[in-house]
Structures are given as structure tokens and as C-alpha cells.
Structure 1
Amino acid sequence: MQWRKRFRDYLISLRRGLRVLAAPVKGDNGRGGLFIHPYLGYGSRDRVFLMGRVFHQPGFGSSMQEDRLKRDLVDLLRRLWRKPIVGARVRVRYKDTTTVVETDRHGFFRVDMTLGTMPSDVTWHSVELSLDKPVDERATTTGEFFTPTHAATYGVISDIDDTVVYTGVANTAKMLWRLFALGSDSRVIFPGVPELYQGFYQGRSGEDGNPLVYVSRAPWSIYQVLVAMFQLHRIPNGPILILREWGMKRGSLLPRRARDHKLDAIRHVLDLYDSMSFVLVGDSGQHDPETYTRILSENPGRILAIYIRDVSHDPERSEAIVNLAREAGVDCEVISTTDSADMAEHAAKQGLILEQALEAVRRV
């Protein structure tokens, strides 16, 4: 009987994973053709930034709408066979503001638009996207972007890999297996992360609605998996910036380093929210401490705290990380630890999160 239960759980997990992977192509109901896939964006009172992709996907299997398993299998095949559209012109409209952007050689586009009419004081807004070239009225879709309300008191920029999730985020199959098959024993999310990030989102009053922006070195193909993972574990929703395509359209024949892309991404967020202070969260395994210290020196007084998840298990590296801010001559604490509770305790002492949030992290 035990093997039957495991087999049944395995099949359920496969179907859940299949549905997540097939999700990006479901908007056309099997008809095929051109498709715009926007990713979550972020904005301020006068600007909005978002990315997306335009591709052509084959149309077949539309008669299988009633059979969810077959429909998901067909949609997964259509996703594998879709082709990016190079040089497509995407029209982006928010209220009375319109701009047109062009896709790169991988079909990706980037929108950085100055707004004529300010967004209302809510967190999520809709933006309309359509194709000017090639013209296809059926490709029209809606994107979303986040803006902090008047209640927000600070923002959070967090790495994902080895900071929110354990190593292996770039391995789609491994991530899906951990996410859906292993349940609470999956070791996908570091303990205490959902509670800590909810504390950041709720902020000093419990109702701040502080913006959280996530950055990752994973490929765009795993974007939907990350979104599903955040929803499953109740991590606050926010734009996920994939660094692999952050340096696109730079006209350089040589690829830029991922840490340069991260610097660009963080600088862009800080520029967009130029009157807001930030908390930075990363890990010790790559270059987050050095990158964050550089951001700290470029933005004196704006970085409230830097939290580094210590995954290197190297005492010398840990000590060097703690000394970084001191060496930079900037008054900001760098907390290096393996435990989310240590981050939460410091954040509570600094008045960044409530005591209730700290207790929630401790209970994990």
C-alpha cells in the first residue's frame, strides 16, 4: 500500500509540474500564432519598467480542452517548439501614455517608460501590450507592474539563488521535483524566509506594503517555476529580474559578467525609487557582499541594512564580509549568518519589522 501512495503522489507531482511548465503558452487556447509573454514589472509615480518576450508557437490540439492532462502535454510541446520573433515592435499603453519597443535577437523586449498620468495609490496596475509589427490583433495581452503606495517606508532587493532557495534553482527538473514531490521535506526554501519576507513587506506598521524586488541568475525558462514556488510558500509577490538577459542590447560582442548585470539591475531600482531607502539581501557564495558594498558606497544613507546568508562555511570569508562596510567607511551593518532568525532579530531591533514577524520566524 505504501508504494501505491508514493506512486500516486508521484503522478500528482508530475501533473502539477507539467501544468506549471505549460502555463506560459495557455493564453491562446491552442490556436497558435504570435504571442506576447510579459513578466511582472515595477514602477513609481512617474515611470514603469517591465520585460517580456514575443514568440510564435504552433497551434494544434485545440480539441483537447476537456482533457487537462493531454492539454498540458500538448501545451508543453508547443512551448518547446515556439520560436522567438526578432525585431517585433511591441506597443505598450498605460492610460494616456504609449511607447513602442523592439525585441532583440532572442525575442525579448524591455520597457522603461515615463508616465503621463500617475498610477492610483494601489500596489498592482495593468498595462496593455499589442503588436505593431508584425500586426496580429490576437496577440494583444495585459501585463502587470507594481508601485509602492504612500504607506511604503522602504524597499527590499533580494537575490534568489542560495538566498531564498537552496542551490539548484537553475535545474528545472530538480526544482519541480523538490517543489511538488517532496512537500515539506523538499528543502526548496530556506527556513524562515517566507515569514521574514512577509515581515519586510508588512514593514514597521504591519500594513506598509513595502516593495520587494528579486534578482536571479536562473534562465527565463524557470521563471514560471519561481512564480509557482513563491505562491506555494507564500513569499510576497514581486518582480523577478533575470540577470542573464539584463545586459541585452548593449552592442557588445562579449558577454558581461552576471555581477555587472546585478549592479545594473540594483542601480536601476534605486534610480526608479530615488527617494526610498532599501534593505539588501544576498548570499556569500558569489559576489553579493562585494556588489552590495559597492552599492552602499554609491548611495550613502540609503541602505538600511545588508543581510548575507552564509553558505560558504568559511570563517575567513564570513569575517571578511562583516568587515566590508567598515572598510568602505559607510555606517551600515552587514549581517552574515546561516539563520533567517538572526536576520529577523537584527531587523526587529532596527525597527524594520514587527515583533510578531520576528516571532513567526523563530517558530519555524
Structure 2
Amino acid sequence: MGLLRQWASFVKRLVHVIAKPVKGDGSRGGMVVHPYRGYGSQREVFVMGRVFHQAALSRIIPRHGMLRDTADVARRILRRGLANAQVEVHIGENQLCVSTDRDGYFDVHLPISHALPIDVSWHRADILVHCPGESPIRTHVEVYVPPPETDLLIISDIDDTVMFTGVAEKLKMLYRLFVKKPHRRTAFPGVAALYQSLHRGVNGRAERPILYVSRGPWAIYEMLETFFQINRIPVGPILFLREWGISWHKPWPRRAKEHKRDLIDRMLTLYSDMPCILIGDSGQHDPEVYIEIVKAYPDRIKAIYIRRVDKDPQREAAIQRLRDQIVGTQCELVLAADSVLIAEHAHAQGHISAHGLAAVQRDVDDHRNDPA
């Protein structure tokens, strides 16, 4: 009976997680607009999102409980992206109108012809969506633009770099990713202090952009935002995600390696005057992708930090061979077993403060003394 209860609890929580993204419409159904946090510079900003239609919820369905969650899962499965919806984005005095693609996604590249205020980093983008047969919807989203004095860009993987997902253990990964509540998902010890230190810089007052890239689907966007906030990890524009929707014209998601490389190229082009640090893990393609980036931008990448997620000697030897390929550049690849080793190198290179290094050491020590 105990095992049966565990499985029942597993299914109940899984259904609730899958149902959560459709609950914001108050059960009315109709057109829904879901923008994702944007990013940009004083030259151009990027805002992505999706417009879709979902069915209304029957009044006989209770507002809470397993039946409501099951009905919302059905609504999520049946919802469809709205193609050719008109999306107007305004930020300051700048504006642009685009159409959604056939899956309902919009990707706005808005040139900045009227300068944005430089005394703030987060700007409000107002969004107005029109679609035939639907009532117009107004919403807004935050857009991050680094201050002019920003001295460093950080691009980080998430899976097995910020949080443990166990890519080598698929069932455990799915359990942690889709079933555990955000505050119970495992962040690596010292990650919060490390990323806060990188964000704040040596003087403790910088606002460096940290841009996160992941092979995960857009469906987990809200959960990851909550995870970052609860774990005190600086929340950057989460522009990492892939569309995993399966259809006859697109039966598989885009390859993670290509997705990551293209996004990093896009960010380095946008922030063309900033040096960069790349952070990833040893379990997938991060070292290989990052070495390609160093070769393409030999003067831009100051360090590659790779979290070691296994002790496979063949994988370590492969990473050592990759490290040898960038000897003579300004970049050093650091294969680290924990956040302290990364922080020590970052401090030695002048990227974080002594206070930041001490905070990382303290967090890791606290975890060792109280692993629960």
C-alpha cells in the first residue's frame, strides 16, 4: 500500500505541475498571451513569447483538486498556437509590430532609436496583441539592458550546472524537473553566492548580465523562474529554452548543441564590447561548444568554468584535450568539482571580490556540515 500511495502522490503532483501554466485565465478560455523576460542593449532589445487559444473550463468542474488539474491538463494538451496574431511591443518611445509564426510564437527584435534611461537596468515593455475573432489583450514584460559601465557578460548553462538534474539518470531527471516543487529541486552548494558575486563584480555594486541557456522546453519557464528566486540566484533573462512541441512538420525539438551555439553567438554579437565568461558542466556538449566559441571569439572569452558532474576518466581526458586547444589564448578552461574552485579562479582573475569568494566558501561549508 505504501508503494501505491507513493505512485498516487507522484501522479497527482505530476498532473498539477503540467496543469499549472493554463490556470492564469480564470477558466474563461480564449486567447492567452505569455511573454518571456527580455534582454537587450541600447541598440536593440529582444522579446519573445507565445500567443495561443485554450478552451474554457466547464462550470461544473471544481476550482481545486485532482479533477480540476486533470481538466486543465486536457486544456493544455488541446490549446493551439495562434498564427498571424499581430503583436505590438512598445518600450519607451520605441515600438515594433510583428506577427506570430504558425505555432503562435513571436520573436521581436526591436531597434532602439530613442535612447532608454541609463540609470535603470530593467525596463518595461508593453505588449498589445490583436487576433481576428479574439478580444485584444494588453500585457507587459521586463527587459534587461545592462548599464553602460558593465565590464563582463556571464553566460551559463542551467541543467547540471546551476541545479542538479542528473542527465545521466533520465528518470531521476524527469522526477526532479517536472515533479519536485521548485524549492525542493537541488541547487549545487555555493551556486547562489557564486552567481551573486559574478553579478555584483569586484566593487559589489555592478549589475553584470547573467544570461542562462538550457536544453529544456519552454513549458518549464515558470518553474525555473520560481527556482531561481527561492534559491537567491540572480534572475537573468531566461532565454535558454527550446520549443519541444511535436507536430507532423516538426516531430523533434531542435538539437541542443545547435540551439546553445546560436544563442551564444547572438548574445556575443549584441554585447560586442563586453568580455565574457562561459559556465557549463562536463556531462553533455558544453566543453565542446564553448571551445568552438573561444576559437570564433579569441579575444572575448576570459574563462570557461566546467562543473565536473561525474568521475569518468575518459571524459576528463577528453576535456583536457579540449583545454590544450586554447593554450595561448586569453581563456583558461577550469574543470571544477565544486563552486569554491570556480570562485577561487574568478577571484584570482579579478572577476569577483574577496567578500564574494568568502561567501561561496561559507555556503559550501554550511552544506557540508548540514547536507539536509
Aligned letter for 1:305?
A
Q: How does 1:20-39 map to 2 (within 5 A)?
A: 24-39=21-36
2:98 corresponds to: 101
Larger mean Cα displacement after TM superposition, 117-126 or 194-203: 117-126
Is the aligned partner of 1:48 residue 2:45? yes
CA contact (8 A) 1:165 1:189 kept: yes
Q: Deviations over 1:16-49 (max 9, x none)?
A: 994x755544543332211110111111012101
Identify if the C-alpha distance between structure 1 residues 271 and 72 changes in structure 2 by more than 3 Å, giving closer, same or farther.
Answer: farther
Q: Deviations over 1:306-363 (max 9, x none)?
A: 1001124223432432442442342311000121110011011111111111112112
CA contact (8 A) 2:46 2:109 kept: yes
- TM-score (norm: length of structure 2): 0.82
1:118 corresponds to: 115
CA contact (8 A) 1:21 1:225 kept: no
CA contact (8 A) 1:168 1:175 kept: no
Larger mean Cα displacement after TM superposition, 189-198 or 88-97: 88-97
Q: How does 1:225-240 map to 2 (within 5 A)?
A: 225-240=223-238
In 2: Cα distance, 1:157 partner to 1:58 partner: 38
Identify if the C-alpha distance between structure 1 residues 255 and 53 changes in structure 2 by more than 3 Å, giving closer, same or farther.
Answer: closer
Larger mean Cα displacement after TM superposition, 323-332 or 87-96: 323-332
Q: Secondary structure at the match of 2:274?
A: coil
2:165 corresponds to: 167
Identify if the C-alpha distance between structure 1 residues 176 and 145 changes in structure 2 by more than 3 Å, giving closer, same or farther.
Answer: same
Q: How does 1:82-231 map to 2 (within 5 A)?
A: 82-121=79-118, 122-134=120-132, 136-168=134-166, 173-179=175-181, 183=184, 188-231=186-229
2:369 corresponds to: none
Identity of aligned residues (%): 43
CA contact (8 A) 1:29 1:62 kept: no
CA contact (8 A) 2:182 2:226 kept: no
Question: Can you give the 5+ residue segments of structure 1 that lack an aligned partner in the other structure?
Answer: none
In 2: Cα distance, 1:106 partner to 1:242 partner: 18
Q: Deviations over 1:111-159 (max 9, x none)?
A: 1111122221212111122223336444221122111113422111001
Larger mean Cα displacement after TM superposition, 340-349 or 310-319: 310-319
Identify if the C-alpha distance between structure 1 residues 209 and 17 changes in structure 2 by more than 3 Å, giving closer, same or farther.
Answer: farther
In 1: Cα distance, 2:60 partner to 2:40 partner: 40
1:264 corresponds to: 262
C-alpha displacement of 1:96:
2.3
C-alpha displacement of 1:109:
1.6
Q: Deviations over 1:154-209 (max 9, x none)?
A: 1110011111111258956533544458x4xx5x2111111111111111111101
CA contact (8 A) 2:182 2:223 kept: no
Alignment: residue pair count: 348
In 2: Cα distance, 1:330 partner to 1:209 partner: 27
Q: How does 1:14-25 map to 2 (within 5 A)?
A: 18=16, 24-25=21-22
In 1: Cα distance, 2:177 partner to 2:242 partner: 19
Match of 2:312 among 292, 311, 314: 314
C-alpha displacement of 1:63:
10
Q: Secondary structure at the match of 1:265?
A: helix
In 1: Cα distance, 2:148 partner to 2:68 partner: 42
Aligned letter for 1:288?
D
CA contact (8 A) 1:33 1:58 kept: yes
C-alpha displacement of 1:80:
4.0
Q: Secondary structure at the match of 2:258?
A: helix
- TM-score (norm: length of structure 1): 0.84
C-alpha displacement of 1:60:
2.8
In 2: Cα distance, 1:230 partner to 1:244 partner: 19
In 1: Cα distance, 2:287 partner to 2:264 partner: 13
C-alpha displacement of 1:280:
0.3
Aligned letter for 1:335?
V
Aligned letter for 2:220?
I
Identify if the C-alpha distance between structure 1 residues 173 and 287 changes in structure 2 by more than 3 Å, giving closer, same or farther.
Answer: closer
Question: Can you give the 5+ residue segments of structure 2 that lack an aligned partner in the other structure?
Answer: 365-372
Identify if the C-alpha distance between structure 1 residues 291 and 24 changes in structure 2 by more than 3 Å, giving closer, same or farther.
Answer: same
Aligned letter for 1:283?
D
1:342 corresponds to: 341
In 1: Cα distance, 2:66 partner to 2:92 partner: 39
Q: Deviations over 1:223-267 (max 9, x none)?
A: 111111111111101112235349xxxx99997532112111000
Identify if the C-alpha distance between structure 1 residues 172 and 221 changes in structure 2 by more than 3 Å, giving closer, same or farther.
Answer: farther
Q: Secondary structure at the match of 2:142?
A: strand
Identify if the C-alpha distance between structure 1 residues 254 and 267 changes in structure 2 by more than 3 Å, giving closer, same or farther.
Answer: same
